Amino acid sequence: MLSEEEAFTFVETILKPNYLNDLQGLVFRQCWLGKTYQMIAEENGYDADYIKVVGSRLWQLLSDTLGVKITKSNIQTVLRQSFNKTPSLSISPLGQLPFSDGTVPRNSPLYIERPPIEQRAYAEIIKPAALLRIKAPSKMGKTSLMLRILAYAKENNYYTVRLNLQQADNTLFTHLDPFLRWICANIAHQLNKEPRLDDYWDEELGSKVSCTAYFQGYILESLDNPLVLAIDEVNHLFEYGDIAQEFLPLLRFWHEEGNNIEIWQNLRLIIVHSTEIYIPLKLQQSPFNVGIPIQLPEFNLEQVQALAEFHSLSNIIDNEGSEPLKNLMKMVGGHPYLIRLALYHLYQDKITMKQLLEEAPTPTGIYDHHLQNHLITLQNNPELAAAFAKVIKAKKPMQLETIIAYKLASMGLVKLQGKEAFPSCQLYCLYFSVVI
């Protein structure tokens, strides 16, 4: 007879490197004991539909791994048969962990959830006329979260479209009309539809009315399920004030049309940006004061420990109350990218934490490329460089001109406390106090 613990260990072994996250582990154990998704949700404070999706993903992952169809109802039978065929199966080495400089792939064990953010986002996106606003500095995990929300929407049979404004040619930002046509053409393309822009565009009505008519009459009316439209790098638009002052109120209008016209309830919006808006918008026209705000925090120690476990770095987790990890966080805070890069090199290069931290702010350290990129940006923007130099030298948080403060915060170089800025981590203080 295969016990719950034996079954769980067996599953973790055969799935490596696709480790179970905490919630998947909870769902597996509770389902093994015969509990329903509803019971699991109620006992652990989750939405029942979300637990069902987690279970569905898990059974599919196990099915793909074992080559046998696995469901909640046959999990015990199939795993016992598989276990009996491989009773001496042992846990294999971790192998080569990939490192991504950007988005963490959907099935990667390196994605660390920050509860209750993911669960809240999944619950909200299936509500009529939902609008989610994801904000965090660069490389904090905004796009990784967005992709998981889109995946959840797909699992609920929603249509999904993702637009990244940094991919738009600069010429599109000179006039509203070509920009809106680019938006519409992209949406049609991703939905495998003919663009048919000219059928809806009317010069006398104007670009915004034409775009809205296209969206309602051609896109939404043709879909049998809701559409989730995710717009990434919205802060890129802030550099083009004229376009931003037209397009952003249009998003607000589309969102509020859900209160007036039923078909617009099928549009769900995700707006992703790295800084506060710093262009003038009337309060009743801004999409940044409606919907659900999601601000991604840095990792806490427990989350950093979980990530270290995925890298088989038990030596620094168990060492004197995780003191090495605490020292790492003193250097880089809980910034997901900086933490992940450090753990990757500790695992891959077998260097010590002491060596990593000593070299961190130097040209021989693991952060050299990251720091150089920031340095180039500052050198190309003397106002930003001068302001950041003052922040580094200051003994306490200091007030900066609003737009400069927001830009530095979007880069992740400073944190904002009200109207005052202070360095976001020791790494940046040590490095930039020498080079700027």
Question: Is residue 48 included in any domain, yes or no?
Answer: yes
Same-domain check for residues 124 and 251: yes
Question: Is residue 171 included in any domain, yes or no?
Answer: yes
What is the pTM (predicted TM-score) of this model? 0.78
Which residue, of 246, 267, 295, is where some domain finishes?
Answer: 295
- Token couple for 381: 């923007």
Same-domain check for residues 162 and 305: no
CATH number, residue 163: 3.40.50.300
Same-domain check for residues 221 and 176: yes
Which residue, of 44, 63, 84, is where some domain finishes?
Answer: 84
Q: What pLDDT, in 10s, does the model give residues 238-292?
A: 999 999 999 999 999 999 999 999 999 999 999 999 998 888 888 889 999 999 9
- Token couple for 244: 């931003």
Question: Is residue 138 included in any domain, yes or no?
Answer: yes
Question: Is residue 357 included in any domain, yes or no?
Answer: no
Same-domain check for residues 166 and 286: yes
Same-domain check for residues 342 and 204: no
Rounded-to-integer distance, Cα 195 and Cα 181, Å: 9
Strand order in the sheet with 420-423: 398-399, 420-423, 414-417
What is residue 17's predicted lDDT score, i.e. its pLDDT? 52
What is residue 224's predicted lDDT score, i.e. its pLDDT? 97
Separation of first and last alpha carbons in the chain: 66
Query: Quick one: which of 343, 360, 335 has its CA closest to 306?
Result: 343
Same-domain check for residues 258 and 313: no
Rounded-to-integer distance, Cα 44 and Cα 249, Å: 39
Question: Is residue 107 included in any domain, yes or no?
Answer: no
Same-domain check for residues 212 and 244: yes
Same-domain check for residues 329 and 291: no
Same-domain check for residues 80 and 170: no
Number of domains comprising the chain: 4
What is residue 61's predicted lDDT score, i.e. its pLDDT? 83
CB-CB contact of 83 with 2 (8 Å)? yes
Same-domain check for residues 129 and 230: yes
Same-domain check for residues 129 and 262: yes
CB-CB contact of 2 with 80 (8 Å)? yes
Question: Is residue 359 included in any domain, yes or no?
Answer: no
Q: What pLDDT, in 10s, does the model give residues 59-98?
A: 888 887 887 888 888 888 888 877 776 544 433 334 456 6
Per-residue model confidence as pLDDT tens for the chain (436 residues)? 567 777 887 887 777 655 677 788 888 888 988 889 888 888 877 788 888 888 888 888 888 788 788 888 888 888 887 777 654 443 333 445 666 667 887 767 778 999 999 999 999 999 999 999 999 999 999 999 999 999 999 999 999 999 999 989 999 999 999 999 999 999 999 999 999 999 999 999 999 999 999 999 999 999 999 999 999 999 999 999 999 999 999 999 999 999 999 999 999 999 999 998 888 888 889 999 999 999 999 999 999 998 998 888 888 887 777 899 999 999 999 999 999 999 999 988 889 999 999 999 999 999 999 999 999 999 999 999 999 999 999 989 999 999 999 999 999 999 999 889 999 999 999 999 999 8
Same-domain check for residues 33 and 150: no
Question: Is residue 269 included in any domain, yes or no?
Answer: yes
What is residue 10's predicted lDDT score, i.e. its pLDDT? 81
Q: Which residue has the tokens 């490596």?
A: 16
User: Is the torsion defined by CA of 56, 57, 60, 62 positive or negative?
Assistant: negative
Question: Is residue 73 included in any domain, yes or no?
Answer: yes
Domain residue limits at 271: 116-295
Query: What element of type H or E holds 118?
Result: helix 117-125
Could you tell me whether strands 420-423 and 414-417 are parallel, antiparallel, or unpaired per DSSP bridges?
A: antiparallel
